[in-house]
Every structure is written in structure tokens, then in C-alpha cells.
Amino acid sequence: MHTKLKLSTLCIAFIAASANAQETSPGPAYDSWLGIYAAKYNSDTEKASPAGVYDGGIEKGVEYGFRMDNKWGGRFEYSSLNLDYRESSGQGDESGQMFGADALYFPANGDTFLFAGLRRQHLQDHFTLGDVGVGRHWRMSDNLRFVTEAGLFHDFSNNTNDFRVKAGFAFTFGSGSSAPVVGDADNDGVNDNLDECPGTPAGAPVDSRGCELDSDNDGVTDQFDQCPNTPPNTRVDETGCPLKVVGDADNDGVKDDRDQCADTPTNDKVDADGCTIFTEKEVTHTLRVLFANNSSVIQDPDSQDIKDFVKFIKRYGKTSVTIEGHASAPGEADYNMMLSEKRANAFKEMLITRYDIDESRLQSKGFGETQLLDTSNTAEAHKKNRRIYIRVTETVKRRATK
């Protein structure tokens, strides 16, 4: 009931609006038309009659239409309707008639129109429908139009929706009561009927099509182009000036200003950050550095083990590193804790200053004598326990090559 009421109200309001519309200039290209048409009519899968459920069919008909002004019109249709059945009690098809009346709206006095109205179908049952749709009168000559149209029909009786595609010919009569008035809405010197770029900003120079000039064809119109006469195929910014050229030092396809992994190997495939693409794989590197008794001095900062570790964390530039400092058992626990922290901080400072590792990737922590590797009270055990320890693990992707 609500659907029926809403669609009925819409159709009545549409027709009333067309009847009260005020005529504006320019007038329509023709006053009325007489048409013939054929249509493919598709019934809703739930539309039923006493003989079964309807399928699609063919519609043939005639129409009479008229223009009330340059935007509004109306029409009446009569057609014969032949529908097949999806399911039936033995009946192959059914023939009937359909009557209709529509209000038509022609935007901008064009050939395309919108329509809404009411229909009455006389088949084995009688059905009342509301319809909406869109169509076009394609001009073939002064008095002949080719008509195409698509419409949706809501059946109030069954609360179902049918669909129709229509084609035909319309023979037109008369002409508009006033001659077309061609304006220049954007005041660019090109009449609206020839203006391919309506709404041009005031004062902007335009070409014969009414479009803003872009003398150097860089995509920025002359009005805003701060660098006229840019060479062809030069990339420019929003001011029309050439973009600053950013290099790609490692030739990985990612510009240096976005490359987070410089010096990527030549054959590596890289992601949007310029870093090597890997299939999922866990990579791990450990480092243990020993210290002299009661010392936080790194005895050999250029050892191969340290260089290999630095190479690893530079290779995997998104890993974070925790440096663990440890002490042996002899001495006070508080002193050993302080000494272990000094050892961890000393190694951290060396990575930053000597090997140019970003400080934000590094953390240091002292554990004192709480994590002894060897608990025996021997000189060898004490030597082993005076250490820093680092273990870096990252789930990355297996290296992919170009």
C-alpha cells in the first residue's frame, strides 16, 4: 500500500508540475509528434495471473505526444501486448492491451527526456502500473525522429516491477514559438552552443572552443602558468614549472627522496620504500663481545664479528636492536649492575658514532650478574660472563630478483 501511494503521488505531482510550468525561451524544436514503436517487455518473476506466472513478451503500439514549452511535454500511448508464461496451466501465451499517459521533461530543451506516468493493462487480469524512465528523440531530419527508451513499470496490483526497452519512429509537427536565443553564460566570447568548457573563470583567455588556453600544453592553463613555454613532455607542478629532478642512485626504481634502503643490490626487486622484497623468512644474527675485568672499554671495535653484525643490521634497515650488558659474579651486585649498563651504553655509542647507525633503532640495558653464562668461580668463567650480548631477529621476505 505504501509503495502504491508513493508512486501514485510522484506521478500526479510530476504531471501537475508539467501542466503549471512556465514557458521560457528558446522554444521547443517541434510542437507535437505521432509515433509508432515496438518494445521488449520483461515481466517480474513474481507477476502472476490465473493462468500462470508471466514471462517477457513483445509490445507494439502508437503514441501521440506534445510539447507545452521548451522543457515540459506529455504523451498518450496505446499498444497491443503479447506475453509468454514462465509457468502456466497449459496456456502458451496471452494477448492484451495497454493504455498509458506520461509527463515528459526535456532538460535544457534537448532531445533526451525523462518521463513518469500511469499505465493500465488489460490481460486476463487488469493491472494498474506507475512508470518512470528515460528516452531520447534522435533527429533524422526536420520532421522525423528515431525514438529509444527504457522504463520501469511498478505493478500496484502485485507489488512487482516490470521493465521495457522500446524503439520506434516519431513524425513531428510544428516548431517552437520563439527563436532560439544563444547566450554566453561565462562571458568568454564563445556562445553557449559552441562552448565546450562552460563556466570558464572570468578574464581567462580561451580558444575557439571556449576552453582556457594552455599555450605550452603542459596541463596548466596560461592564467595560472608561472613558467610559460615549458619544453614539450616536461613534467610540471601545479604552477606550470618543471618538477625538480630527483635521482635514483641505486637504480632500483625508487627515487632517492623516498628510498629508505640506499645501495640496494642491482638485481633485487624492491618495495615502495626501495627495500628488497623477500618471501617470509626469519633471519637472526647474534653478537657477543667480551670485556676486561672492571672495564667498559671495547677492546677491538673494528673486529670482523662487529663489522659482520653492522652489515647485517644495515642490510635489514627496519630491525630494532637491544644491547644487553652483563658482568661477572665477583663484586657488589649494585656495582656490577652499573658496570653492565656502562658496557651496553658504550657499545651503543660506538654503533652510533663509528658505524652511523640510527640511534632510534638502538636500546641498551644492563643485567649485572643476574644472567651468568658460567656459574663456576673460575677465571675462565668470569671472563666469559664479562660481556655484551645482542641477538637480532626479524621475519622478512626471501630475496626476490628482477
Q: Is the model's pTM score more than 0.75?
A: no
Angle at Cα 352 formed by Cα 349 and Cα 355, nearest 5°?
120
Percent of the chain with pLDDT over 90: 26
pLDDT tens per residue across span 34-58? 999 999 999 888 877 777 777 888 9
pLDDT tens per residue across span 134-193? 999 999 998 999 999 999 999 888 888 999 999 999 999 987 544 455 677 777 777 877
pLDDT tens per residue across span 335-388? 989 988 998 898 999 989 999 988 888 888 899 889 888 889 898 988 888 899
pLDDT tens per residue across span 187-222? 777 787 777 788 778 777 777 777 777 777 777 777
Full set of structural domains in the chain with CATH: 2-173 (2.40.160.20), 278-399 (3.30.1330.60)
Q: Which residues, in sequence order, are CB contacts of 171 under 8 Å at separation 6+?
A: 33, 34, 35, 143, 144
Which among 66, 71, 74 is positioned nearest to 101, based on CA atoms? 74
C-alpha cell belonging to residue 83: 506475453
Angle at Cα 352 formed by Cα 346 and Cα 353, nearest 5°?
90
pLDDT of residue 279: 66
Which among 43, 42, 114, 54 is positioned nearest to 84, based on CA atoms? 54
Instruction: Find out whether 135 and 147 touch, Cβ atoms under 8 Å.
Output: yes
